Amino acid sequence: MTPPSPWRATVLTLFPEMFPGPLGVSLAGRALASGLWQLEARDIRASATDRHRSVDDTPAGGGPGMVLRADVLAAAIDATGIGPERPRLLMSPRGRPLTQTRVTELARGPGPLIVCGRFEGVDQRVIDGRGLEEVSIGDYVLSGGEIAALALIDACVRLLPGVMGKEASGTEESFSDGLLEYPQYTRPQLFEGVPIPAILTSGDHAKVAAWRRAESEALTAARRPDLWEKAANRGSGQKTPKNKTDG
Ligand code: ADE
């Protein structure tokens, strides 16, 4: 039997030299080198057909900036040979916000095709015609989709089997139960006159767990009322956090 092919990200970009970039070092880099996942960055410009290898043009109807051409991008997508069996994403500030839930789904699948937009945007006909799912990594505008793609891939890769040393650290942290992570401490016991909270060194595991839960709830309520509302509706938190800390 042939072994299953590893999780793979195929990236379409005008700047393939931006990959693997930071994904070539540390956790993701070691996993890439050992074959736990694969990365292919393809140059959209290779699919340009005119003399000047142009990939963009002025927006129909006028306005500032340039728009990525539908014919060039569609040809670049088609040249990958990737069909509907893999998710097709377009990194864009107009997209649905990326969540840990979507990251988990993407990490469980075969790995996405990711189109990195540049300029003012991408011709709508290729978004519709090639079924691209627009994904945003936050309400701010980057100069292109590449850094957003790197963030998305990083979030997926750390969830792949065998990538993270300690399995627990993948599930116990921020967002896995819809709450932000509790504060952490380590030695020295006294830092600039501030001790580690006594409960954490008490050896009472039940009390430690309760303290962490209360801190998570208080932080989430203070910083992320949107997440807190959802957690409360799911029954994973109360309407008011058990203790109050500064957000
Ligand atoms: N491209 C530019 N800004 C972006 C964002 N916030 N998320 C995803 N892709 C983008």
* pLDDT value of position 238: 56
Ligand 1 contact, 136 CB (< 6 A): yes
What per-residue confidence (pLDDT) applies to 3? 76
CATH superfamily, domain 7-157, is SPOUT methyltransferase, trefoil knot domain (3.40.1280.10)
Structure tokens at 119: 């300029």
Residue 118 pLDDT more than 80? yes
Q: What rounded mean pLDDT belongs to the chain?
A: 93
**pLDDT for position 177:** 84
From the CA of 138, how far away is ligand 1's center (Å)?
A: 7
pLDDT at residue 241, rounded to an integer: 76
What are 56-88's pLDDT values in tens digits?
999 999 999 999 999 999 999 999 999 999 999
Distance in Å, CA 233 to ligand 1 centroid:
30
Residue 236 has pLDDT above 60, yes or no: no
109 lines ligand 1 (CB under 6 A): no
Please tell me the predicted confidence (pLDDT) of residue 43: 98
Q: Is the pLDDT of residue 2 over 90?
A: no
Beta carbons of 241 and 214 less than 8 angstroms apart: yes
Q: What are the two backbone dihedrals, phi and then psi, of residue 106, each rounded to the nearest 5 degrees?
A: -65, -35
For residue 77, the tally of other CB atoms under 10 A from its CB is 23
Mutation to probe ligand 1, out of 12, 15, 92 (largest number of atoms < 8 A from CB): 92
pLDDT of 247 > 50? The answer is no
Kindly report the pTM of this predicted structure: 0.93
Residue range 140-172, pLDDT digits in tens? 999 999 999 999 999 999 999 999 986 545 554
Mean pLDDT of 170-176: 59
Full DSSP string of 185-212: --S-SEETTEEPPGGGGS--HHHHHHHH
Residue ranges, comma separated, of all CATH 1.10.1270.20 domains in the chain are 175-233
The pLDDT score that the predictor gives to residue 10 is 99
Instruction: Identify the CA nearest to 40 among candidates 102, 114, 117.
Output: 114
Over range 116-137, report the average pLDDT. 95
Question: Quick one: pLDDT at residue 153?
Answer: 98
Q: How confident is the model at residue 235 (pLDDT cuts 50, 70, 90)?
A: confident
> Domain 175-233 sits in which CATH superfamily?
tRNA(m1g37)methyltransferase, domain 2 (1.10.1270.20)
**Structure confidence by residue, pLDDT tens digits, 200-210:** 999 999 999 99
Residues 6+ apart with CB under 8 A from 64: 120
Per-residue model confidence (pLDDT) at position 174: 64
Kindly report, as residue ranges, where domains of CATH 3.40.1280.10 are found in the chain.
Answer: 7-157
